[in-house]
Amino acid sequence: MPVAGNSYVITIIQAYLDWGGHTRHTSSRGMVYGEGYIPIFAPDSYSFNIHNSNFIPNYKPNKIDILGVNIFNCTSYDGFFTGVLKAAGNQSDDIYAKQLQGNGDLKTLGAWYAHINAQVGEHVEVTWTSPTDIVIRHY
């Protein structure tokens, strides 16, 4: 579980801004424009213990979401976004998450990216202020 003060920075690429439309490599669904995500690179995921729903084996196959495990309250530094993000996907070890995304709405971060007019090459910082709360900042 992450702790207050854990933080990482990513450099934005096009796929983060347009997850559902940019270079989709799946036939599971069609293009969905407006989706976005914030990646979690393996060293940060492992170091901060950022888990996905696979971390909760006693609840399989009915996976649940748990605040502070794979669900986090989130606010954006600019005040536009207040909501919940989900740690999802998996690294080589399938209990560690590879991205933050909207919980149940993959357009959540896409809307924030659009609001701040995020561009490729800019940065997003993710900072835990407690084990259950994060702040995202664009610069």
pLDDT of residue 117: 97
| Least confident piece of the model among 4-13, 34-43, 54-63, 124-133 | 54-63
Structural domain boundaries, residue 111: 7-138
pLDDT of residue 63: 64
Q: Is residue 78 in some structural domain?
A: yes
Q: Find all residues with CB under 8 Å of 39, minimum gap 6, and list them.
A: 10, 16, 98, 99
Q: Is residue 1 in some structural domain?
A: no
**How many domains is the chain partitioned into structurally?**
1
pLDDT (tens digit per residue) in 63-91: 668 888 899 999 999 999 999 999 999 99
In this prediction, residues 50-60 reach a mean pLDDT of 76
Task: Check which CATH number belongs to the domain holding 26 and give it.
Answer: 2.40.330
- The average confidence (pLDDT) of the chain is 89
pLDDT > 90 fraction of the chain, expressed in percent and rounded: 71
Q: Is residue 13 in some structural domain?
A: yes
Q: Using pLDDT thresholds of 50, 70 and 90, give the confidence band for residue 24.
A: low
pLDDT (tens digit per residue) in 84-120: 999 999 998 889 999 999 998 999 999 999 999 999 9
Q: Is residue 2 in some structural domain?
A: no
Cβ-based neighbour number of residue 67 at 10 Å = 12
